[in-house]
Chains A and B, each alone.
Chain A
Amino acid sequence: MYTCKEVIQLLDLYTDGELDEQHRLLVGTHLQSCDLCSRLVRLREEEARMIRSHDPVPALSPGFTRQVMASLSPDMHPSTRGQWLSSLRKSLARPWLAPALAGLILLVAVSYAASLRLITTDQKQVAFQNSQSGLQAQTQLALPGNTTPETEHDQAFNENNSLNKQELAGSAASKPTVPKPPVDSIEADRAAGSRNIPAVSQTARPTTAINPKAVSAPDAQTPETGGTPEAKTPAVSTTDAKTPEVRMMSLAPRQNSLDALKQQGYTVLQPSFLPPGYIFEQYSLLSGGSDESQSTARFTGTEDILLSYRNAQSGALLTLEIQTPANPAPPSQTDANPNAQGSRQTGTNRITQSLQKLGRNFVLQITGTIPSADLQKVADSVQ
C-alpha cells in the first residue's frame, strides 16, 4: 500500500486520470483509508475548477462560420490537391524512377562540365586569334585533329605561353588575363615565306619530367666557372625589355624537340644548373631579336629561342631567352665571358648577360621569380 508521501506525488496524475490501472487502484485504496489525502484530492479538483471559472472568454463573433466558408475557394479544395499529390506520390514511387533520375542528373552534370571545358578552350582560341591576327597565323588546337577537350597538360601549357609573353613584357607579376592557346600553324608560316621552321611532331607529353641535362646537346659541358657564379661580374644591364613579336610558338614539350631544333642548325644553349623543382617545359621561337629597344648587348640575328622551365609544384616560371646568330652554325665549345647584371622588378627578377660562343655574341635573358643569385647561377651555367 502506498504511503501518503507516495500518494501525494501521484495526486496530479491521479486527478488528471493519467495513472495506469495498477497505480490508480493503489492510490484509490489509500484514499479510501486516508481522510487527509482524500481532502487533498478534493482540493486539487477545486483548484482546477477555480482556474476554469476565473478565466472566462468573450463570445465568438456571430457569423464566424459564414466568414470561414466564404473564404474557401475552389482551388483550395483538398480533394483536388489530394488527387494531384497522390498521383505524384504514385509516380515517384516507381522503383526504376530514382535510378533513372539519378543517371539523368549525372549525365546532365557531366555534359555541362564538358561543355564548360570546351567553351573555355574555344574562348582561348578566339582570344589567340584576335591577338595574333596581325601575324596571319592560323591557330589550331594544340593536338591536331583532336577535338576532345584539352588535357590538363594542355591547359597548363596555354597558361605558360601567356606567361612567356607576360614575362617578356616585363609584367610577370600580373597574371595573364587572356591565355593564348599553345598552337601555331607552321604551314601558314611557311606559306608566308618566312624562315623554314622545322615541323615538330605533336606527341603526348611524357609523364616523366624532362631533365634539362638530358635534353641538352651531347656536346654540352659544364662551364669551368659554372660552379662559382658569384665570381662573375655583371657587365650588361637592360631596362625593361620590350616584348618581342611572337612569330611562332611551337609546341615542344617533348624529349626530342630540342634535338630536332638542333638538327635544323640552331645553336641551342641550355643551363646545366636549374633551381630545384624546375623542369624543362617548352621552347618557342621568337623573331625580332634585333629590337632597337634592347640593351647594348643586342643580338643582331633573326631568330631567338625562348626556353621555358616550370616548377612543377609551385607553378613558377623561369624563362631563358637566347638570341641566336642569324646563320646557324654547328655548336661548339667556347669560353663564356658572361657579363651580367640583375634588375629586380616586382616579384620578378631578370638577368641579361652576354655570352660569346664561336666568335659570336649571344644575349641571355633569364627571367624568373627566384632570387637574383639563383638566376645568376642559371645564367652562368648556360653553355
Chain B
Amino acid sequence: MEGHTPDHELVRQTLAGDTHAFEMIVERHQQAVYRILYRLLRNKQEAEDIAQEAFLRCYRHLEKYDQDRPFAPWLYRIATNLALSRLRHLVKHQSVSWDDYDNRFSETEETTTGWQVGLADREGPSRSLDPAAAWEKREVRSEIVQALRSLKPPDQLIIILRYFEELSYEEIAYVMQTRRNNIEVRLFRARQKLRNIPALQQEWGNARYHGQDGGVTVCTPARK
C-alpha cells in the first residue's frame, strides 16, 4: 500500500506534519541516493553521512519542491550537490587534483570484498562462474571501475545517473542544473573514454570488424 503512494502525495503529507510520510520517502529513496553517493565518493561512511545530510536538507526545504516535477531528481540534486562540494573540498584542502582525487579517497580492495552486491539480480548467472571466469570478471570489474574513476566527478555523475539509475537526459540535466544538450555532449565524451578500456574495446573490436568490408562505416543496409 505504501509503495503505491506517489512521491508528491507523501511530500504533501509531510508538509502537513506527517513525519511518517517522510519516513516512507526515506525508505523509498535511500538506496538510490546511497548508490549515487557511493559511486561518486567511493567511501561507504562518507556516502552514508552525506546521504543522511541530504535527507535532512530535503526535509528542511521540502516546501521548495515543485510538485509538478518528479521527486527523485530533486532529491538527487540535493545529494549530488553535497557530494560534489565534498569532493571539491577534498581537492582544495588536500592538494588533490580533480583527476586524481579518487586515488586518495577510495576504499581498498579488501574493504570491498564483503560487498553485498546490490545489483546481484542484474548480474544473474555470472555469480556462478568458475574460478577462471571469476578472475576474469574481477579484472573486468577493476578496469571498469578504474575507467569510471578516471572521469571527472561531473562526468562520473552523468554516467552514474544514466547507466545505474537510468535517468533520462532531461532528468540528468535537472539534477546537474544544466541543459539537456550539455548532458548529451558530455555523455558522449565520457562514453568515448570508457570505450577505450580493453574490456569494452574487445567487444567493440568484434563489432567493428564484423562487417563485410571490415568496418561498420561501410556497412550497407540489406537489400529489400
Binding site for B on A (CB under 8 A): 1, 3-5, 8, 12-13, 16-18, 30, 33-37, 39-40, 43, 46-61, 64-65, 67-69, 71-72, 76-79, 81-82, 85
Q: How far is the CB of A367 from chain B (nearest CB, A)?
A: 62
Count B interface residues, CB 8 Å: 72
> Per-position contact with A for B137-181: 1 when CB-CB < 8 Å, else 0?
100110111001000000000010011100011000000000000
Contact across chains for B122 and A58 when beta carbons are under 8 A apart: no
A59 in complex: contacting residue of B27, B116, B221, CB < 8 Å: B116
* CA A77 to CA B199, docked complex, whole Å: 49
Do A53 and B194 have beta carbons less than 8 Å apart? no
CA distance A33 to B31 in the complex (A): 42
Residues on B with C-beta less than 8 A from A65 are 23, 26-27, 30
A47 B203 Cβ-Cβ under 8 A: yes
Q: Which of A13, A60, A79 contacts B48 (CB 8 A)?
A: A60
Instruction: Tell me if B133 counts as interface (CB < 8 A to partner A).
Output: no
The answer to whether B119 and A53 have CB atoms under 8 Å apart is: yes
Inter-subunit contact B56/A53 (CB<8 Å)? no
Stretch at the interface among B1-9, B57-65, B73-81, B91-99: B57-65
Q: How far is the CA of A85 from the CA of B220 in the complex (A)?
A: 63
Asked whether B55 is an interface residue with its Cβ less than 8 Å from the other chain, the reply is: yes
Cβ < 8 Å to A, chain B residues 12-28: 14-17, 19, 22-23, 26-27
Nearest-Cβ distance from residue A60 to partner chain B, whole angstroms: 5
A-B contact pairs, 25 of them (CB 8 A): A12-B191, A16-B162, A34-B220, A34-B222, A50-B140, A50-B203, A51-B148, A51-B159, A54-B137, A54-B140, A56-B119, A58-B38, A58-B116, A59-B116, A59-B118, A60-B51, A64-B26, A64-B48, A65-B23, A67-B52, A69-B22, A71-B52, A72-B56, A78-B15, A79-B15
User: Which one of B63, B119, B123, B224 lies within 8 Å of A85 (CB-CB)?
Assistant: B63
Q: Are B26 and A69 in contact (CB under 8 A)?
A: yes
User: How many whole Å from B114's CB to the nearest CB in chain A?
Assistant: 7
B163: which A residues are within 8 A, CB to CB?
48, 51-52
B134 at the interface (CB under 8 A from A): no
Task: Say whether B210 contacts A55, CB under 8 Å.
Answer: no
Q: Mark B184-203, 1 if CB is under 8 A from A, else 0.
A: 10011001001100011001
User: Judging by beta carbons under 8 Å apart, are B144 and A68 in contact?
Assistant: no
Q: Is B132 an interface residue (CB 8 A)?
A: no
Is the pair A68, B17 in contact by a Cβ cutoff of 8 Å? no
Q: Is the CB of A79 within 8 A of B16?
A: yes
With known contacts A39-B210, A76-B56, A64–B51 Cβ distance under 8 A: yes
- Contact: A36 with B211, CB < 8 Å? yes
Which residue from chain B places its CB closest to the CB of A8 in the assembled complex?
A: B216
List residues of chain B with CB within 8 A of the CB of A37: 216, 219, 221
Q: Is the CB of A53 within 8 A of B123?
A: yes
Cα–Cα distance between A235 and B119 once the two chains are bound (Å): 109
CA distance in complex: A213, B143 (Å)? 98
From A43, A58, A61, A81, B203 is in contact (CB under 8 Å) with A43
A34–B144 CA distance with the chains assembled, in angstroms: 30
